[in-house]
């Protein structure tokens, strides 16, 4: 990836935090690398090199700055939205695929040979998949060292290292200090918060319209699985090695995340999925700048800057929700989904019955039991007809979807091929352009999806004085490319 030296240097000289995560600044005279907004004195030009990834900086023999914490910067918006192989690979690496399945597993998911995948990643990011995964393991280990009282051997394996020696060597190389020193220099011992519980900050690029995110999630929250309460989002998580619960509270410049995990090795995937759910790696200024050129949206952008695209922690869940919501209200869909979750024994019986009696009613604030997780494809296939509470054709569409996922023909993860996924979805009976587009937007993170037939989208268009027939709205929306998904969120809010 080409990095323009002058543009990068100007960003570093002005300490512009909008570029954090876009690139990393290597200072050859000190042997460290920083984020562009590092508050330290601006280095001289002759001592500066720019890198497209932290792994590339580490490969050049540089260690992470202890002052600006470059490993805690938001992810690059480029890898967050790109639909090509490199973008898909970065999302899968962030989800821990290399740690779980190795480079062969990553290459298999993407449909390329290991050699060609290494070549593509190195050309774009200056590092191969192993180096990128190693940089992530080092960041995960540092988080565990500084925020938990776990022993170093436990941390080593929880972060994904193959041995304690490998863990010690990597931490020394990346941070120029042994693991024990990182814990001491933290300034205080971590406060025990219960086994498997970690609290950390998830950085984002401002502005962030937190109310829009919470409003969107609250109206769709399923009892026993998720809820929004007192400005905080609570969510049960299905993770590669177990389950967990995320408690996410937006704050100034970051989101406070408390994660309760049954297996600490799921920390990196849990963080990646929470970041994707809240769209924390987006570049809101780029999105808003494009949408604000349309006079119809300019007022909304000015009043509510930083509206994000709520995504997903589980692609199958989003697809099942989309099918269930076809031609019925959100409240009715929540009732139907609640019955289905009850049938899969994933939600407490009393909670389900209470919510079914009054769809949309918030759970009791004093609820202390952990949240459950949404049903998986295999569990849905085991549910009898009585558990669906929907027309037979829609029930069979959901079963067809679940079979495609279970048999590996349909990839609804963030690393899936968007075009192929949409093609396979629309080939299923009962799934049309709206459903496939909704899944592409939320499950796959496609930033440029328009839903011109959506009733709420058309109502929002009418409220803003825009064309409101599917054909005319579709033609008009070309001016919003490549951020039409964000325009959809704003039209929903206008409705």
Q: CA neighbours within 13 Å on the CB side: how many for 175?
A: 28
Length of the chain: 495
Q: How many angstroms separate the CA atoms of 343 and 286, rounded?
A: 44
Residue in 60, 68, 48, 55 with CA at minimum distance from that of residue 8 = 48
CA dihedral 213, 205, 68, 8 (to 10 degrees): 160
Q: How many angstroms separate the CA atoms of 24 and 74, rounded?
A: 12
Catalytic residue list contains 169: no
Q: How many angstroms separate the CA atoms of 13 and 438, rounded?
A: 41
The DSSP symbol for 177 reads S
- Cβ 468 vs Cβ 462: under 8 Å: yes
Pull the structure tokens for residue 227.
């809820």
Pull the structure tokens for residue 397.
């569409």
Residue in 60, 207, 192 with CA at minimum distance from that of residue 125 = 60
Distances (CA, A) of 256 to 203, 247, 338: 9, 8, 29
The DSSP symbol for 474 reads H
Enumerate the β-bridge partners of residue 246.
235, 259
Q: What are the residues whose beta carbons fall under 8 Å from the beta carbon of 475, sequence distance 6 or more?
A: 467
Instruction: Give the distance from CA 342 to its chain's centroid.
Output: 27
Q: How many angstroms separate the CA atoms of 284 and 309, rounded?
A: 10
Helices (H), 326-454: 330-343, 349-357, 377-381, 392-406, 418-426, 433-442
Enumerate the β-bridge partners of residue 27.
32, 48
- Cβ 241 vs Cβ 266: under 8 Å: yes
Please provide the distance, in angstroms rounded to a whole number, between the alpha carbons at the two ends of the chain: 41
The catalytically annotated residue of 8, 34, 38, 352 is 34
Catalytic residue list contains 99: no
Q: How many angstroms separate the CA atoms of 3 and 8, rounded?
A: 7
Q: CA neighbours within 13 Å on the CB side: how many for 462?
A: 10
Distances (CA, A) of 406 to 377, 378, 399, 435: 6, 6, 10, 20
> CB count, 10 Å around CB of 275?
22
The catalytically annotated residue of 281, 288, 413, 454 is 454
Task: Name the residues annotated as catalytic.
Answer: 34, 454
């Amino acid at each position: 990836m080409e990095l323009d030296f002058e543009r990068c240097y100007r960003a570093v000289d002005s300490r512009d935090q909008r570029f954090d995560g876009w690139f990393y600044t290597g200072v050859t005279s000190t042997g460290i690398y920083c984020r562009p907004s590092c508050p330290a004195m601006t280095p001289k030009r002759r001592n500066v090199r720019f890198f497209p990834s932290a792994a590339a900086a580490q490969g050049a023999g540089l260690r992470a700055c202890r002052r600006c914490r470059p490993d805690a910067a938001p992810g690059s918006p480029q890898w967050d939205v790109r639909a090509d192989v490199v973008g898909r690979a970065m999302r899968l690496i962030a989800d821990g695929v290399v740690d779980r399945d190795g480079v062969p597993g990553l290459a298999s998911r993407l449909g390329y040979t290991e050699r060609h995948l290494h070549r593509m990643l190195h050309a774009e990011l200056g590092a191969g998949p192993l180096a990128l995964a190693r940089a992530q393991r080092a960041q995960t280990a540092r988080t565990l060292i500084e925020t938990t009282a776990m022993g170093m051997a436990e941390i080593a394996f929880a972060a994904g290292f193959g041995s304690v020696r490998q863990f010690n060597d990597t931490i020394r190389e990346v941070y120029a200090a042994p693991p024990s020193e990182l814990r001491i220099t933290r300034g205080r011992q971590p406060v025990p918060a219960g086994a498997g519980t970690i609290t950390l900050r998830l950085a984002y690029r401002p502005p962030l319209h937190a109310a829009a995110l919470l409003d969107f999630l609250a109206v769709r929250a399923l009892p026993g699985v998720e809820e929004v309460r007192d400005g905080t989002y609570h969510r049960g998580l299905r993770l590669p090695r177990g389950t967990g619960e995320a408690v996410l509270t937006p704050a100034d410049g970051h989101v406070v995340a408390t994660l309760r995990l049954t297996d600490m090795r799921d920390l990196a995937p849990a963080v990646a999925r929470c970041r994707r759910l809240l769209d924390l790696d987006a570049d809101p200024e780029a999105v808003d700048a494009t949408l604000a050129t349309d006079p119809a949206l300019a007022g909304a952008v000015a009043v509510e800057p930083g509206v994000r695209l709520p995504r997903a922690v589980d692609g199958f869940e989003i697809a099942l929700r989309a099918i269930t919501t076809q031609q019925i209200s959100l409240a009715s869909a929540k009732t139907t989904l609640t019955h289905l979750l009850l049938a899969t024994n994933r939600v407490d019986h009393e909670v389900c019955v209470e919510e079914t009696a009054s769809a949309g009613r918030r759970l009791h604030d004093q609820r202390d039991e952990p949240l459950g997780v949404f049903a998986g494809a295999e569990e849905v296939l085991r549910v009898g007809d009585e558990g669906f509470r929907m027309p037979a054709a829609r029930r069979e569409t959901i079963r067809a979807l679940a079979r495609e996922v279970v048999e590996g023909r349909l990839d609804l993860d963030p690393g899936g091929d968007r075009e192929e996924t949409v093609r396979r979805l629309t080939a299923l009976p009962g799934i049309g352009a709206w459903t496939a587009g909704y899944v592409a937007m939320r499950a796959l993170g496609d930033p440029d999806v328009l839903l011109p037939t959506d009733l709420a989208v058309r109502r929002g268009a009418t409220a803003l004085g825009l064309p409101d027939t599917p054909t005319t709205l579709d033609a008009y929306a070309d001016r919003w490319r490549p951020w039409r998904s964000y325009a959809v969120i704003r039209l929903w809010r206008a409705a």
